[in-house]
Structure 1
Amino acid sequence: MTTTNSEHTAENTELVEQFLELYRDYYREEMGTLAQHYPQEQQALNVDYHDIFRYDPDLADDYLAHPEQVRAHAEDALVRYDLPVDVKLGDARARVHNLPDDKTHFPGEFSPSDHDGVLRSIRGEIKKATDPYSQLEEAAFECQRCGTLTRIPQRNGHYQEPHECQSCERQGPFRINRDQSEFIDGQKLRIQTPPEYAQGEGQDIDVFVTGDLTNMVTAGDRATVTGIIKLEQQSQGNQDTAKFEPYVDGQHIAVEQTDAEDLDISAETREQIKALAGGEQGDPLELAAETLAPKIYGYDIPKRAIVLSLVGGAHVEYQDGDFDRGQVHILLIGDPSTGKSKLVDRAEGVGWRAVGVSGTGATVAGVTATAVQDDFGDGSWTLDAGAAVKAHRGVLAIDELDDMPPEVRAALLEPMSKQSIHITKGGINTHLQTRIAAIAAANPKHGRFDPYEPVAEQFAFDSALLSRFDLVYTFRDKPDEDEDDAVAHHVLTARDAAKRNGRDMDSLEDSADPQGPIEVETLRAWIALAKRQPDPVFADESVEESIRESWLSLRGLYDYDESEPVPVTFRSLEGIVRVAEAAARFELSETIEQRHVDIATELVGQSMQDIGRDEDGNLDADVKETGGSKAQKDRKKEVINTIQERQSEGDDGMAEIDAVVEELAEHYDRARVEKDIDSLLYEKGVATEPKTGHIRYIGGY
């Protein structure tokens, strides 16, 4: 049956009337707001797809299937809407969003051939974004022969000239009259499947947005882009090919404000988690620690610390713009084959918005972010998000931190402490948010801990980075008959049980279960729910007082004697509060109770025991803050002074090493003095050995 022009006109009029009625019934207030702020502050009406569906399911289906045609009628209705003020919404846009789940995909989850021309929502992470640029919306072509203007709409970023002049009917030449042409802001985005949902690298798709949608997101943001799926023919040189690449003509952007853990948690799961958080099956944090990495034997305190790091404390902002971070950074450093890297892997697997990084081959751009000049931006500068930006509001899991190049480790300081990265390059000047919890694993400087060398001297990186970690735990491989037997039994039974789980072996029901006491997905949902909790406050003054008194007792451990080391700094006080906040949130508590303070004190206390003591066993904050204890520094000063005194006494400007050692051995351990001399010669480079058995201090330490 042939459809006449009059029937088309009647159908179009009917569609416009439907949208007018929809706006009157559902968007009367929003239309008034648009009229008040149009066009400077607001240029579009955001229309919920579910409202269209409630109004008329057929109209909703038509919008999905024929978005460009139906949108034109929706925007025509905006122009015809009866407004109480003298405002014309001539260029206002109708932006449909909040599509059903079956019409919402990650990049690569749909067939481009089957979805060409339809409206869909694409969820993901913004991998790249160009600077906004001016894009022709309607070009006014001026015939250079007769001067006649011909107006040609420019669609989807493609440049189209007139075939011939409307006046002289010649085929040009033409030039663009910029004053008579219409321009609009445009931007190109690349959206990628988030790492926690991707299998491997993750697929991506390009998105083109215009007008008020430009500059809404930047690299590293999570967003849902609703738009029309289109196919663009690819070319090779000057030849068109049979290959068509999909892209999205963006119509709406919803920036995710609720982090990566916006999991849809069922009412049943919520009730289960509330029961677990309330202690129904035992200590909540112990349950989580056992579930985090059941295959790894022991390490209860580091496991509990990792769970709380995945949750995080409170990000506190002050009126002057300053802030206190809530993320808890953890470093696991130890001997090979002690399970530290496995725990970091588990943190990446269980945590939300977790991005893994290996120190080997890491680059500053790959770990942080950079401005790049490539084909994506047609040669212009674009932001390329690195791991820390992608992990914003999540976890940056770092393995082999000791193998990371020094310049990359130095670049970690800003995102860990300031929770942002400042990019100034290629005309781009911006801050990217990196509110991350860093959980890292590293080996000691010599690959294995030396029991005769102070812990502080066995780190392969400087104290500036070490001091950024709230909790540092050491993993030592010490032969012990009973402990070794327990570990071996655990490893073998867990491995065997994992193999048997896929078989029907009723007689082996009692074999060890490699799973934890609760399901991993339940733990992930628990963490997601905990991260959504309000920032907890002290339950009462007694809780706050207990933290203060506990910290002050450590602070005054040596009676504030200036000749003694400083036991703890204010960093440790902040660390205790952060961990206590995370413990409260994990129990879904809106207040920090004394038990949460006790948890924090235990976890921070164990970290101090592991790396916060000098070689004599005294608490010394300098071990972590500066990379050496006060006792070490005092001893090394004595070593240098003794060398310089003996140098000045001799005619050759050298000191005999054995004589220096003998003199200092009256007050210090001989082996430590010898190590100090070796350090001056071979590590610090501040002394030379002009001839065997002699040393000359040249300065610089």
Structure 2
Amino acid sequence: MSYDPVSKWEEFIRSRYWDDLLKLAESYPSTRSLIVDFADLDRYDTEFADDLLENPDVMLDAAHTALQEIVLPVDVDLSGAHVRIVNLPQHLKTRDLRSDHIGKLIAIEGQVRTATEVRPKIVRAAYECQRCGHVFYVDQSGTKFIEPYECPNEACDRRGPFRLLPKRSQFVDAQKVRVQESPEDLRGGEQPQTLDVELGDDLVGRIFPGDRVIINGILRSYQRTTQSGKSTYFDLFLDGISIEMMEQEFEEIEISPEDEKRILELSRDPNIYEKIVRSIAPSIYGYEDVKEALALQLVSGFSKRLPDGARIRGDIHILLVGDPGVAKSQLLRYMAKLSPRGIYTSGKSSTSAGLTATAIKDELGDGRWTIEAGALVLADKGIAAVDEMDKMSPDDRSALHEAMEQQTISVAKAGVMATLKSRCALLAAANPKMGRFDRYEPIAPQINLTPALMSRFDLIFVLTDEPNVERDSHIATHILKSNYAGELTSNKHNSSINEEEIENATEVIKPEIEPELLRKYVAYARKNVFPMLTRVAMERFKEYYINLRSQGQDGNKPVPVTARQLEALIRLGEASARLRLSNWITEEDVDRVIKIVESCLKKVGVDPETGMLDADVISIGISKSTRDKTKQMLNIIKELGGKDGAHIDDVLDRAEAEGIDRDRAEEIISRLRQEGSLIQTSRGTLKAV
């Protein structure tokens, strides 16, 4: 090193970061960090920047000294301030770390898995000699606590005893986090590797499990100890010096004045809904109604706290049930990618603990039991996409009930009682019971989900795969064009392919609004727009709801919808107004959401026998007409049955005479036997239990 690093830092800060330093001096000590972009250092002096990467301890100490030596117009002592380096040129994965990296300044990219509590860490211990009363200090560096060997007072020069003086010692806030490799960076069959990171002072308490981050720091090592003594193997940890967030919640996304101008311009476009629909999964043909609902799910309604303390959720839950090969998983993956805190998980590989939370022994801290968050907690304020929901075990599915409606997850395990927040929108996909829908049977009974779970979804879309020459032709053309565009993009290096040809081919799968702008548009809407119901919208919702309910006023007719559907309408209305950045829910929004809700209800919530809307089809799983016929069948069995029960043929003849189709009667008997309400003896007689 052919220069004085302290004076070099002083010169650099004065020339490039003087305004930032003055801001730091004005806000100190609430702000204690001067953020320096590595690219600025590199442009200023390449050798200086390289020295920082190779000898970070020496260079950062020099930077700290320079901060204190610079004469400022403000009378402030910056002895507790830090210089934090961001935007390093190369980001490493945990699996790429080698012994050469020890002691170097590196950047690690990944997802936060666990984080300990913030606790004070001693950096300068004050000791008092019990013999002569001399007070002295011992600097603490590294992972082990250093105790004094002898009294530094020459008049004493004894080896203790010494007493630690916590009040006169210097402490700093400290926290450990464990960073795991991001799932998309892994090759097939690889398990994500982890790295422990130590954070201090103003870096603590800023990141939480689920956050995707880049942590810049100095790689350090410590020797493993085993029962037989010290090992030749060393473990690695990162001494964090700065944090960069890779993805933020919608509300945290930074929006520049230029972005805001583009967003407001977009919101005034009369075709904004169509544009956003065309920007969601453009590689998938059709499904305009589903994509419109997904756009509403992205912006969502907003949660409301009532004066009595009750909370009404604002997130919209959507279920897609469909035949195989209708691109359900593709839609889920696209939405999880579009949402800043989107998590994608699938069927059998997800347990209730993995979805909600589990109690584990804390390896980072002091070995106490702690709660580790699952997918729904990690997706807080984002979208949780759960694929193959029908393949999950019923016990695991039941864990979703509280998370969907109350948007909390209560855990009582191993003496730890906690309530975690899961304020996420759930987007789930499932296949029909028999793998494919039977078009001659009612749809609701073919969905292999419990009524309690289904009733919590605001919208249920049924996607059937029915041959249609015209539609199949469009889909085939779209798929072929998409694949051709992919092939051209993959062969960019081929000299015979020009940019114009690639541009023309990719037009078919190009989103109308690029994902980054769409994300900022959604963030702006969620942060600034909280629409209210206009008098007209309120009346329309009320009229629609009462008209539907009035169909069930006659005691013999089913209850068409419940109050849950009205709440869903309001949530969707809020989202519809938010999507065009309007502060009022208008008649146009009411028409839009009623159209979406009706199309869903007519597919799933209709009693196939009567053709009427029946809320019980979703909320209980049995329509009112089926319930009435079941009662009728039980009465017939009780009337015909004596001591030995009623013979099955007599029961079926009587049911037919009373207007119940023979096949329907056999189906009801079979269901009652499965439920345990009927017993069939070996003589073919039926007895009600």
- When normalised by structure 2's length, the TM-score is 0.79
1:312 to 295, 300, 305: 300
Amino acid at match of 2:672: L
Check the 8 A contact 1:291/1:515 in 2, yes or no.
Answer: no
Cα drift, residue 460 of structure 1? 1.9
CA distance in 2, matches of 1:248, 1:637: 70
1:219 to 190, 209, 212: 209
**Aligned-partner SS, 1:620:** coil
Aligned pairs for 1:174-193 within 5 A: 177=164, 182=169, 186-192=174-180
**Aligned-partner SS, 1:346:** helix
**Aligned-partner SS, 2:588:** helix
Tell me the residue number matched to 1:369. 357
Tell me the residue number matched to 1:354. 342
Check the 8 A contact 1:106/1:193 in 2, yes or no.
Answer: no
- What whole-Å deviation, never above 9, does each CA across 1:41-99 have from its counterpart, x for those lacking one? x7x7455658xx99xx99x9899955752576589799x99989xxxx99x843556x5
Tell me the residue number matched to 1:690. 681
CA distance in 2, matches of 1:437, 1:391: 9
- What whole-Å deviation, never above 9, does each CA across 1:10-61 have from its counterpart, x for those lacking one? 999999999xx99995356535xx6xxxxxxx7x7455658xx99xx99x98
Counterparts in 2 of 1:160 and 1:610: CA distance versus 1, 3 Å? same
1:232 matched to 2:225:
no
Tell me the residue number matched to 1:617. 611
Tell me the residue number matched to 1:442. 430
CA distance in 2, matches of 1:49, 1:300: 47
1:388 matched to 2:352:
no
Check the 8 A contact 2:488/2:502 in 1, yes or no.
Answer: no
Amino acid at match of 1:411: A
Tell me the residue number matched to 1:543. 537
Check the 8 A contact 1:391/1:434 in 2, yes or no.
Answer: yes
2:646 to 652, 655, 665: 655
Tell me the residue number matched to 2:562. 569
Amino acid at match of 2:561: V
Tell me the residue number matched to 1:207. 197
Counterparts in 2 of 1:627 and 1:381: CA distance versus 1, 3 Å? same
Q: Return 5+ residue gaps in structure 2 as ranges.
A: none
Tell me the residue number matched to 1:409. 397
Moved more, 198-207 or 285-294: 198-207
- What whole-Å deviation, never above 9, does each CA across 1:324-352 have from its counterpart, x for those lacking one? 22221110112222332332233233333
- When normalised by structure 1's length, the TM-score is 0.78
Counterparts in 2 of 1:634 and 1:265: CA distance versus 1, 3 Å? farther
Counterparts in 2 of 1:388 and 1:197: CA distance versus 1, 3 Å? farther
- What whole-Å deviation, never above 9, does each CA across 1:202-249 have from its counterpart, x for those lacking one? 765433245676556543456786x74241235374445465624134
Tell me the residue number matched to 1:468. 456
Counterparts in 2 of 1:302 and 1:139: CA distance versus 1, 3 Å? same
Tell me the residue number matched to 1:293. 281
- What whole-Å deviation, never above 9, does each CA across 1:353-390 have from its counterpart, x for those lacking one? 21111111211221122231153335333442221122
Superposed CA RMSD in Å reads 5.0
2:621 to 627, 632, 644: 627
Counterparts in 2 of 1:197 and 1:312: CA distance versus 1, 3 Å? farther
Check the 8 A contact 1:228/1:248 in 2, yes or no.
Answer: yes
- What whole-Å deviation, never above 9, does each CA across 1:600-643 have from its counterpart, x for those lacking one? 11111111111111122111112222222222222222223333
Amino acid at match of 1:614: D
1:589 matched to 2:579:
no
CA distance in 2, matches of 1:307, 1:16: 46
CA distance in 2, matches of 1:9, 1:263: 34
Cα drift, residue 404 of structure 1? 1.0
**Aligned-partner SS, 1:608:** helix
Amino acid at match of 1:580: G
- What whole-Å deviation, never above 9, does each CA across 1:464-515 have from its counterpart, x for those lacking one? 2111111001122334455555544544454455445657579x97999575
Counterparts in 2 of 1:568 and 1:365: CA distance versus 1, 3 Å? same
Moved more, 441-450 or 480-489: 480-489
**Aligned-partner SS, 2:367:** coil
Counterparts in 2 of 1:17 and 1:308: CA distance versus 1, 3 Å? closer
**Aligned-partner SS, 2:358:** strand
CA distance in 1, matches of 2:547, 2:187: 50
1:432 matched to 2:420:
yes
CA distance in 2, matches of 1:10, 1:517: 55
Check the 8 A contact 1:352/1:528 in 2, yes or no.
Answer: no
Counterparts in 2 of 1:10 and 1:586: CA distance versus 1, 3 Å? closer
1:676 matched to 2:668:
yes
Tell me the residue number matched to 2:388. 400
